[in-house]
Amino acid sequence: MQTKEKSDLFVVAIQMGAIAAVIYEYWGKLWGAAIGLFSGEPKGRHLGVSIIAANQLLHGLVHHACDCW
């Protein structure tokens, strides 16, 4: 393995660890909101709308920044 590949692998491993830590910390909130999404509770609807809005915003920013799609 080249040094650049090792460095990239390390960065990915660190990021995955950070994501896993956030999921672990907020699992109860995330699970409750996900259940609410399918049961029609306001908390769940808010989660669904927030996820869709964030996805659209991110897609728009990436598309505008690289103009590659």
The CA-atom distances, in angstroms, between 45 and each of 54, 66, 69 are 14, 32, 30
pLDDT digits (tens, 9 = 90+) for 4-15: 888 888 988 999
Q: How far is it, in rounded angstroms, from Cα 59 to Cα 61?
A: 6
Task: Give, for 18, the enclosing helix (H) or strand (E).
Answer: helix 3-39
The CA-atom distances, in angstroms, between 37 and each of 10, 12, 53, 57, 65 are 36, 31, 15, 21, 32
| Per-residue confidence (pLDDT) for residue 34, from 0 to 100 | 78
pLDDT digits (tens, 9 = 90+) for 25-61: 988 887 877 787 788 888 778 887 888 898 888 888 8
